[in-house]
Structure formats: structure tokens, C-alpha cells
Chain A
Amino acid sequence: MLVSNSFQQPIGLSYTSEVNFVSTPTALQIVKFTETPIFSNAQIAQFIRIKGIVAYTSDAVKKSPGGNTVISQNGLESLYLNIIGTNSKSILWDFPCISLYPLVNGGIYYEFDKLAINFTACYLKVNVDGNISAGESAVFTWIYEDIRNPKK
């Protein structure tokens, strides 16, 4: 599933989304991606394949696309990412979000082998109390391909 990231592919399409923590999350709490990016539309999602994911901390971005304060590195270390496929099966199970942060990976991002995902079923799981405050957002860039036009 994970492919080598020693050579990063060009990024043809990307979409940055955020998960806002309306209240202070607690350990083992699950938070879904409530924002509606283009690939949560079922008519479009069937053609979308995820090729990479980038996460950010407040050291990289101060404000989210929605204008919210971004979680700190401690906050990102407190989150697991769960990716669910279009077949409703788990693709990534409790994947540490900090691994998606290029500044701890020598500048590279994780690449995936064209995942067909059910975006609205994917979620974050909090693994510890106290590192994320109410109102903060986790920010992710989804690198993807539209199989109708793969060279795009």
C-alpha cells in the first residue's frame, strides 16, 4: 500500500481540508472529516484516487484555510488517521498523523498507491488528552488523481 517515497512524484491535483475540533477532544474520541471537499461528492469521488497525504502543524501553517488556529506538533502527535476504502474496508488503521508531516520526514511526503477511499467515512482518533484545544483545526493536503484524466 505504501510505496517508496525516495523519489517524489509530481503533484498534479491537490486539495487541502481541515478537521475542526469544536470542543476539546479527549482520548479515544473519533472525529470525522466534516468538511466537504470535492471528493466527498459521490459522483466525483468514484473517479478520485489518493496518491499522497500531507499534514501540517502550527509551525508550518498559522491559520487553517477556514481561519482557525492550527494544532501544534504535540497535537498532531496525538492523532491517528483512519482511511476507509470505497468497499467500506479499512485501508489505514490508526496511522500516526505525525508521520504525514514532511518537516519530520526530511521534506518528503507519504505516497500511496492510488487509494479509492470513502472520504466521509474516514476519521481521526485522538490518542491522548490535553494536546488539542477547542477551536483548533488539523489541516491535511490530499494529493490525488482523477482517473478520467490521469495525466492531468
Chain B
Amino acid sequence: MAIRTRELQLVIGAQTGVYYYFQNTADINAKTIYNIEWLFLGQQNPATINGVYNCLPITSGSVQAMYLCLRDANTLDWRHFNLPLTALGRSFSGNLAPVLPGVVASNVKNWKRYTGKIDWTTSYIISNFPPGAAINYYITLLITYEDGNS
């Protein structure tokens, strides 16, 4: 077993009240998650995410209207329903140190860890406020998980 992290990115368009599903999650699907953190990346150059061109990292203001809905990998029941993405941000958690591979247990004092085995294919983010009308934006989550392949 090994503790690994990876970024998971999702493109959010201008539509509100719709579900934005995750893609390319086979490597973390149904694996034990130790933490999910939303990364504030500032305004960097446009990137290509899941085949969508010219995406900008989402701002901290826009993320305040987005909610994460995660299903349990075994039952498909809701594990975390309408969890505000804000709750996954560093500032909301007291500007604490990040969770890093191999130091999960000792480095998460006070850190609000969101755990469990997630079915990422049926999990989604709902956006209740347009991040921007003219361009796609993307959200970056840092996933800390247990990998059976060491």
C-alpha cells in the first residue's frame, strides 16, 4: 500500500444549476480517499483540460457557489452531499499545512479530511453561479488516496 496524491481537474462552463461530472478517474475510483483539497491556483495561463481548450483556473470568488456531491463506491449512496467547495480550501481550514504522501497521519492535525471510497464516475460538482461567460474555467482538486500498487 502506498499513499499517493494526484490532481483531479474538472472544466466548469457558464451554465448554472447543472451537474459537471468528473472524467479520467479510473486510477482513483473506489480507492480509499484520505483527503480532498481545493487548490487555489490564481490566474495562470489558459490550459487544455480533458480536451477543452483555453481553460482558466477558477477564482476563489466563483468557487463559493459550487458544491461537491460524492457517492459511495459500494452503495452509491451519498457520502458527501452538497459539500461546499469552500470547505475544501486551505483558508477555510485555517491555513494549515497540506496533506502530503507518507505524512498523512501526522500532518493533518485540525485538517478537515474528507474520507471514504468514492465512485467518481457518478460524482459531480454543481455550480450555482457562472464563473465567467466567455471562457471555460477549471477546478483543481488535490486527492490524497491509498494505492494498492506501491
Give the distance to chain B from A81, nearest Cβ to Cβ, in Å: 18
Give the distance to chain B from A149, nearest Cβ to Cβ, in Å: 9
Give the distance to chain B from A9, nearest Cβ to Cβ, in Å: 8
Contact with B along A80-107 (1 / 0, CB 8 A): 0000000000000000000000110011
Residue of B nearest to A38 (CB): B78
For window 11-45 of B, CB contacts with A under 8 Å fall at 16-17, 34
- What is the number of residues of chain A that contact chain B, defined by CB distance less than 8 Å? 31
Chain B contact residues: helix, strand, loop or mixed: mixed
Decide: B128 and A60 in contact? CB cutoff 8 A.
Answer: no
Decide: B84 and A107 in contact? CB cutoff 8 A.
Answer: no
- B residues bordering A, Cβ < 8 Å? 16-17, 34, 61, 64-65, 67, 72, 78-84, 86-87, 91-96, 109-116, 126, 128-129
Given A38-B78, A65-B67, A102-B92, 19 extra CB contacts under 8 A: A7-B109, A7-B110, A8-B111, A10-B113, A10-B114, A14-B80, A16-B82, A16-B83, A17-B82, A38-B81, A60-B92, A61-B64, A61-B65, A62-B128, A63-B128, A102-B94, A102-B112, A139-B84, A141-B87
